[in-house]
Amino acid sequence: MAHPQLSASGRVFARTLAFAAASLGTALALAAGAGDDRALFGFSAAASVQQRALEQRFDAAIDPADLRAWLKTMSAEANHVGAPHNKANAEMVRDLFRQWGWDAQIEVFDVLYPTLKSHTLELVGPTKFVASLKEDAIEGDATSTRTDGMGPYNAYGADGDVTAELVYLNYGMPQDYLDLARRGIDVKGKIVITRYGGGWRGLKPKLAQEHGAVGCIIYSDPQDDGYSAGDVYPKGGFRPPTGLQRGSVLDMALYPGDPLTPGIGASKGAKRLALKDARSVLKIPVLPISYADAQPFLAALGGPVAPGRWRGALPITYHMGPGPAKVHLMISSDWGLKPLYDVIAKIPGSQDPDEWVVRGNHRDGWVFGAWDPLSGHIAMMAEAKAIGTLLKSGWRPRRTLVYASWDGEEPGLLGSTEWAEQHASELKSKAVLYLNSDTNARGFLHPEGSHSLQRLVNDVAADVQDPETHVSVQARLRAHMQVQGLDTDVSDPDQLVARERNARLADAGGDLPIGALGSGSDYSAYLQHLGLASLDMEYGGEEDQDGVYHSNYDSFDHYVRFGDPGFAYGVADAKTIGRIVLRMADAPVLPLQFTSVADTLADYVAQLRKLTDDKRAQDARVARLIDARAFALAADPTRVVGPPQREQPVPQVDLAPLDAAVARLKTAANDYDTAYLRAVGGEVKLTDARRRQLNSVLRALEQKLTNERGLPGREWFKHFIYAPGALTGYAVKTVPAVREAIEGGRWQEADEYSAFTARVLDGYTDSLRQATALLRGS
């Protein structure tokens, strides 16, 4: 499911970064700063020597030929939920884990999963056109000729048979509705057509439904991932004319997982909601189409010419409607329960078996799934095989390892969420880390997650060599952040702020920042519901994946040409994530650092203050222009566009409780990190009993950032620092209860949750102080 939505210019820019990194040569090698005699974070000097020797044996057991063979087998047939090949893949993975020495089982859940029975999309006026709703075979792509895959549909859109006028809605995001309103256009009773991009696909029909539309069509415009972005498949990697993007439109901003069993595992005996009461299932029909099918519908529209930022790359004039285009949309689905097959493999810990390091990657795809998700899954399999080799040599992990091959991620993070909900109590009492991956390809390391893990990620990244430039992946990522900081061609202001911050920290020469997690892959239940320290890691940024995302062309043949031809980055992914797993498994005291948490939270609070100040200034300026009739005077009298909506004045938001809480955390974090380095260096001796007590406190620390109250309006999400945005879908909102209240102009709510989140942070700080006392022996 993971898929960064990049602009065409952003994708081109990203591919130039390889040359920038390579040209720095020796300077980058020095920037890595890693020598074999460097003590590893979390290990004494003597233990570091042993750990490095273990990791070298681990590396030697990883063979790119294995990755290639596994990918070819697993992507040979349709691999969606319910497909026979998906179950066969689960059984193959289970059996391989057993061969490698793991205790592996398949755990089954029964979930609501609608599958397409029939669908129709046709233009019924003023001209006639019937959409093909098919993807053509591509020469040189063996699986593209198969017809047993999942047809084009958006899972969890409603069944329906509607006929209505058409309205073009750009990306279908909140700002687009404001643009329509300024032109006097209403979507109520209409079918809307939006293009992919600009935000998560599920928000497009959700917002359309809330505005009264009776149906939603989502198409892939060539400007975003077709011929405007690069050569189309098979000449290049981008989307061909009949390529389309399947995907879920489940309202995962409310809760992911099985719609009928929120908060509990979807076991056979679970109490289920009636379908009509499932809040995450939409009420209008939704259908994805290709740009070949979309063009006749868009060309038939009248009404105002769309503004410049709404125009794609099709050879037509983009109009907004409504009409005269009239559309008939029909979708019928089977709404029965389907089985999920999660493969769960374990190696019990030799000393601390009740402390778990959990690692996962999903296995199901929308069709063949070579890129998404199998490119990441085969790297996880390589890790598991290499760990099996270590087992045969007599090594045993200190802590228990749990590896998971998830099913049902694509429809709504189903398999991972149901397993997390089913085993919630045990996970909260045992799991020290959840480490996720999804897709993987050529490019840069992309780490996101809990900031207590930032130091560990940097320590590992300094030890893994980039296959293309032969410097450390940390050094190459530093160059990437520095160069990317020069590119201001970003439409999302949050993304621009993140780029500028990353470049500033990369220039400083210390640890590189890791990103914050929103949603879009299987970490959600573990971080945002259970409160487990979590990471999501992959390589990418140089590939041409965008054009085959969730399509019939996400195939073995496409991946070996445009993704990772020699599987060198699959090997790098396995080495990187494998090191984190091994170090988390074997470090006597969990290798966590907290000054990075405090510094990051200070940045988040500063962003909240800037967000409020910027909104106050912008709203006041708009109000002055409205009063001066500036919008009326600047408008073309022949093309009616009204002024923007006047907003109420922005009051002062009381962020003082958060400022104070972060200041307390900074002091506590510095105290802990100082004491930790002394303990690891041998200056303080910990008894086994005290070490276990300390690790118990550290394991539960991330949970202190959660609260059973949950976020306002979506109580399943319990983490008060990281959450997907209610109106962004995948993209993260940090300090979400406060940030989204500010963005929504709910000022009393912003003050309330500023104080509430500060109390949550104080609980975290108190536990961190307890950990420091245990380290000091006091």
Sequence letter at residue 528? Q
Contacts of 755 (CB under 8 A, 6+ apart): 654, 657
Contacts of 449 (CB under 8 A, 6+ apart): 457, 514, 515, 517, 523, 527, 533, 534, 535, 536, 537
The predicted structure's pLDDT at residue 8: 35
Contact yes or no for 539/568 (Cβ under 8 A) = no
pLDDT at 415 over 50: yes
pLDDT at 545 over 70: no
Tell me the average pLDDT across 741-761: 97
Contacts of 104 (CB under 8 A, 6+ apart): 93, 94, 95, 97, 98, 343, 344, 345, 346
Give the C-alpha separation, 118 to 115, whole Å: 9
H-helix segments, 227-373: 291-299
Q: Which of 220, 578, 113, 192 is nearest to 380 (CA)?
A: 578
Contact yes or no for 734/273 (Cβ under 8 A) = no
Give the C-alpha separation, 292 to 379, whole Å: 35
What are the beta bridge partners of residue 248?
A: 155
The predicted structure's pLDDT at residue 741: 98
Q: Which of 687, 716, 729, 721 is nearest to 704 (CA)?
A: 721
Secondary structure class of 522 (helix, strand, coil): coil
β-pairing, 352-362 vs 115-125, is unpaired
pLDDT at 296 over 80: yes
Tell me the average pLDDT across 744-765: 98
Helix pair angle (747-776, 736-743), 10° resolution: 160
- Taken in order 730, 733, 737, 740, is the CA torsion positive or negative? negative
pLDDT at 240 over 50: yes
Q: Which of 106, 134, 515 is nearest to 292 (CA)?
A: 134
Secondary structure class of 262 (helix, strand, coil): coil
pLDDT band at 446 (very low <50, low <70, confident <90, very high): very high
In tens, the pLDDT along 167-226 reads 999 999 999 999 999 999 999 999 999 999 999 999 999 999 999 999 999 999 999 999
In tens, the pLDDT along 343-360 reads 999 999 999 999 999 999
pTM metric for this prediction: 0.94
Give the C-alpha separation, 331 to 315, whole Å: 29
DSSP classification of residue 527: I
Q: What is the dihedral of CA 364, 7, 563, 503, to 10 degrees?
A: -110
The predicted structure's pLDDT at residue 202: 96
Q: What angle do CA 156, 157, 161 make, to 5 degrees?
A: 140
CA atoms within 13 Å, Cβ hemisphere of 284: 27
Contact yes or no for 135/242 (Cβ under 8 A) = yes
Sequence letter at residue 219? Y
The predicted structure's pLDDT at residue 147: 83
pLDDT at 734 over 80: yes
Give me the percent of the chain exceeding a pLDDT of 90: 90
Contact yes or no for 284/213 (Cβ under 8 A) = yes
Using alpha carbons, list the distances in angstroms from residue 238 to 5, 11, 374, 382, 653. 14, 11, 19, 29, 46
Residue 640 CB coordination number (10 Å): 11
260 is written with which tokens?
């009928």
Q: Which of 485, 479, 338, 466 is nearest to 412 (CA)?
A: 338
Give the C-alpha separation, 51 to 49, whole Å: 5
Give the C-alpha separation, 60 to 52, whole Å: 12
E strand or H helix that includes residue 406: strand 399-406
DSSP classification of residue 529: I
Helix pair angle (375-392, 84-99), 10° resolution: 20
Give residue for tokens 């601390």: 352
Q: Which of 368, 364, 360 is nearest to 341 (CA)?
A: 364
Sequence letter at residue 64? P
Secondary structure class of 160 (helix, strand, coil): strand
- Taken in order 737, 738, 742, 743, is the CA torsion positive or negative? negative
What are the beta bridge partners of residue 719?
A: 706
pLDDT band at 423 (very low <50, low <70, confident <90, very high): very high
Give me the percent of the chain exceeding a pLDDT of 70: 95
544 is written with which tokens?
């041409």
The residue among 370 and 639 whose pLDDT is bigger is 370
Give the C-alpha separation, 659 to 665, whole Å: 10
DSSP classification of residue 398: S
pLDDT band at 274 (very low <50, low <70, confident <90, very high): very high
In tens, the pLDDT along 104-137 reads 999 999 999 999 999 999 999 999 999 999 999 9
Residue 4 CB coordination number (10 Å): 17
pLDDT at 501 over 60: yes
The predicted structure's pLDDT at residue 778: 66
- Classify residue 54 by burial, with Cβ atoms within 10 Å: 0-12, 13-18, 19+: middle
44 is written with which tokens?
């004494």
Q: What is the dihedral of CA 103, 528, 352, 768, to 10 degrees?
A: 170
Give residue for tokens 């390391």: 445
Tell me the average pLDDT across 311-333: 98
In tens, the pLDDT along 77-94 reads 999 999 999 999 999 999
pLDDT band at 22 (very low <50, low <70, confident <90, very high): very low
Residue 708 CB coordination number (10 Å): 6
395 is written with which tokens?
């090594």
Contact yes or no for 123/326 (Cβ under 8 A) = yes
In tens, the pLDDT along 679-714 reads 998 888 899 999 999 999 999 999 999 999 999 999
Contact yes or no for 119/287 (Cβ under 8 A) = yes
What are the beta bridge partners of residue 215?
A: 191
